[in-house]
Amino acid sequence: MLEIKNLRKSFAGFQVLKGVNLTIPKESMTFIMGGSGTGKSVLLKHIVGLLKPDEGEIWFEGQDITKLSERELQIVRKKIGLLFQEGALFDSMTVFENVAFPLVEHSRMSSKEIKLKVEELLQAVELLSAKDKFPSELSGGMRKRAALARTLALNPQVILFDEPTTGLDPILQITIMELIKKIKETFKLTCVVISHDLILALKFAEKIAFLHEGVVVEEGDPEKIRHAAHPFVRKFVESALLDKKFETKEVEHEL
Amino acid sequence: MNFFSPIGRLFLRFIEDAGGIFLFFWQSLIFTFTPPLRFRLFLKHMEFIGVRSWLVVALTALFSGMVTAYQVHHALVKFGGQSVLGGVVALTLTRELGPVLSAIMVVARAGSAISAEIGSMRITEQIDALKIMAVNPIQYLVTPRLWAAMIVVPLLTAMADLIGIAGGYLIGVLVLGIDHGIFVARMQDMVELIDIMSGIYKSIFFGAFLVTVCCYKGYFAKGGAEGVGRATTEAVVISSVGILISDYVLTTLFF
Ligand SMILES: Nc1ncnc2c1ncn2[C@@H]1O[C@H](COP(=O)(O)OP(=O)(O)OP(=O)(O)O)[C@@H](O)[C@H]1O
Ligand SMILES: [Mg+2]
């Protein structure tokens, strides 16, 4: 579905992506994991053409996205949605207007239909009560959910989620992931999720890829990642799972 | 040796900026003709620029008109020509002070705000968000502001002309004791339609110029909140100086 080949990108002489190769299977949930600052967000921005690579290709529907002009990209972008890490909500608009924005721009819906659709989306991310608030009046987690609703509004075929659950409470994390999964299954979407949360990844991912020092060092299904050989991935897995054991023990102890 | 290098660098920066600004202007003008027509945004920005600026423009015009009357009277009295005061004040205002002062006040009040707003949209990825929702950010952010400024700045200039002349009248007739009839008659003799229109034409240019510069600086802001501050300062300096320089050039060439 999406094929990333030998992607390289430097910023002012500092190489962030050093030849990323990754295939994202159609209608699947792929998690991209890795340490902070390893270029996960940069990688997603290449997929929607916000950044141009120094070298490499990204194939989508028989086209190399990296070679498209801004106008050709507009067509691709209607098919690929991106949830920004910081939300990137328009701060001159209310939550409602933010979510309605892509519909007003691109759909042929009447304003009544748009209202219904937006309210349905806001309901799904549990934000209906905040619909008339401005982004500056929201908490970080609320902003993230509003941005999620906006990304979902256009029903893209592929959605790239840049840390959709970071900064949310554990219950909401699961709720959001369940929501993404449900939407993915209903609309047969291809989802790419960036996350630091291995537990969540093991639970929801069909494929996990580890980005480390500018390359994908390990990829495969959760079971494969659990028993990965690469030292960085092992360390990542061990710390995450240890944490979990620790947590469960503590809970038992309290009981 | 090193004395001239900052000048050289400034000159290179100027050439680079000038090219970028012109291209930016050209693009936003061209995007007028790509649908959708953003009429509501155009109205909104007209209101924004007008509401923010009219009071300062009115005050500036009033006092400039008054002080011009004093100074011109002082000069005219030396050879007993004070009867033409009305004409000279009106010419100074319609041809020079009206358009230039209005434009500079619009820079200070609305231009800086535009630059800061677009700059903060850049650094919080809102411009990228527009792009990935397949909305052309220049067409959405700049084109409506360009047209709004090209309409509102001339309107403000016309207002400034009127208020400035009223200020001149106040001083000339009520304080310096020039006869009402003579003041008005000289004004009617000396001021032709082309004098008023030359000021208005210039102000259309100033409006387009200042809004392009302010949008351009904000649009390419980088480096966090500090970068937005820097962009805003540069926008105000470049537009104000540019207005004065281009006023000279336009006046010698055309008017
Ligand atoms: N526009 C840019 N200009 C210069 N450097 C950049 C730019 N965008 C990203 N970088 C650099 O690229 C590197 C990777 O950034 P990126 O945002 O992709 O990290 P990340 O993996 O998403 O981290 P996190 O998990 O903290 O979000 C960082 O060192 C960052 O400084
Ligand atoms: Mg990131």
* Contact: A77, B128; criterion CB under 8 Å: no
What pLDDT, on the 0 to 100 scale, is given for residue B13? Answer: 79
Euclidean distance between CA atoms B208 and B29, whole angstroms = 10
Residues of A in contact with B48 (CB under 8 A): none
Q: Is the pLDDT of residue A255 over 50?
A: no
Nearest residue (CA) to ligand 1, atom 17: A41
Euclidean distance between CA atoms B82 and B73, whole angstroms = 6
Euclidean distance between CA atoms B189 and B172, whole angstroms = 17
The pair of structure tokens assigned to A233 is 């991935």
What average pLDDT score do residues A81-108 get?
A: 93
Alpha carbon of A16 to ligand 1 centroid (Å): 8
Tens of pLDDT, residue by residue over A171-201, are: 888 888 998 898 898 888 999 999 988 889 9
What pLDDT, on the 0 to 100 scale, is given for residue A251? Answer: 46
Strands A215-220 and A158-162: unpaired
Alpha carbon of B27 to ligand 2 centroid (Å): 32
Domains and CATH numbers, chain A: 1-79+158-221 (3.40.50.300), 88-155 (no CATH)
What pLDDT, on the 0 to 100 scale, is given for residue A247? Answer: 52
Alpha carbon of A41 to ligand 1 centroid (Å): 6
What pLDDT, on the 0 to 100 scale, is given for residue A243? Answer: 58
ipTM score above 0.85: yes
Name the nearest CA neighbour of B141 among B28, B19, B18. Answer: B28
Measured from the Cα of A42, ligand 1's closest atom is 18
Name the nearest CA neighbour of B211 among B17, B18, B21, B57. Answer: B21
Residues of B in contact with A80 (CB under 8 A): 132
Q: Is A16 in the pocket of ligand 1 (CB under 6 A)?
A: yes
Out of A48, A89, A106, name the one closest to residue B132 (CB).
A48
Out of B126, B132, B136, name the one closest to residue A82 (CB).
B132
Is B132 in the A-facing interface, judged by CB distances under 8 Å? yes
Tens of pLDDT, residue by residue over A117-152, are: 999 999 988 899 999 999 999 988 889 889 989 998
The pair of structure tokens assigned to B141 is 């952010």
What pLDDT, on the 0 to 100 scale, is given for residue B116? Answer: 96
Euclidean distance between CA atoms B72 and B67, whole angstroms = 8
Positive or negative, the Cα torsion across B35, B36, B39, B41?
negative
Q: Is A135 in the pocket of ligand 1 (CB under 6 A)?
A: no
Name the nearest CA neighbour of A42 among A69, A15, A68. Answer: A15
Residue type, A13: G
Residue whose entry in the numeric block shows the structure tokens 């008339």 = A132
The 10 Å Cβ neighbour count of residue A35 is 14
- B-interface mutation test, from A101, A134, A136, A158, most B Cβ less than 10 A away: A101
Q: Which of A69-78, A197-206, B1-10 has the weakest average pLDDT?
A: B1-10
Bridge partners for A158 per DSSP: A80, A190
Tens of pLDDT, residue by residue over B139-191, are: 999 999 999 999 999 999 999 999 999 999 999 999 998 899 999 999 899 99
Which class for B157: exposed (0-12), middle (13-18), buried (19 or more C-beta within 10 A)? buried
Strands A158-162 and A14-24: unpaired
Q: Is A166 in the pocket of ligand 1 (CB under 6 A)?
A: no
Is B136 in the A-facing interface, judged by CB distances under 8 Å? yes
Tens of pLDDT, residue by residue over A36-53, are: 889 999 999 999 999 999
Is B35 in the A-facing interface, judged by CB distances under 8 Å? no
What pLDDT, on the 0 to 100 scale, is given for residue A254? Answer: 45
Below-50 pLDDT ranges, chain B: none
Nearest residue (CA) to ligand 1, atom 19: A37
Euclidean distance between CA atoms B210 and B220, whole angstroms = 16
* Contact: B132, A77; criterion CB under 8 Å: yes
Q: Assign residue A68 a region: left if phi > 0, alpha if psi is -120 to 50, beta otherwise?
A: beta
Euclidean distance between CA atoms B96 and A45, whole angstroms = 49
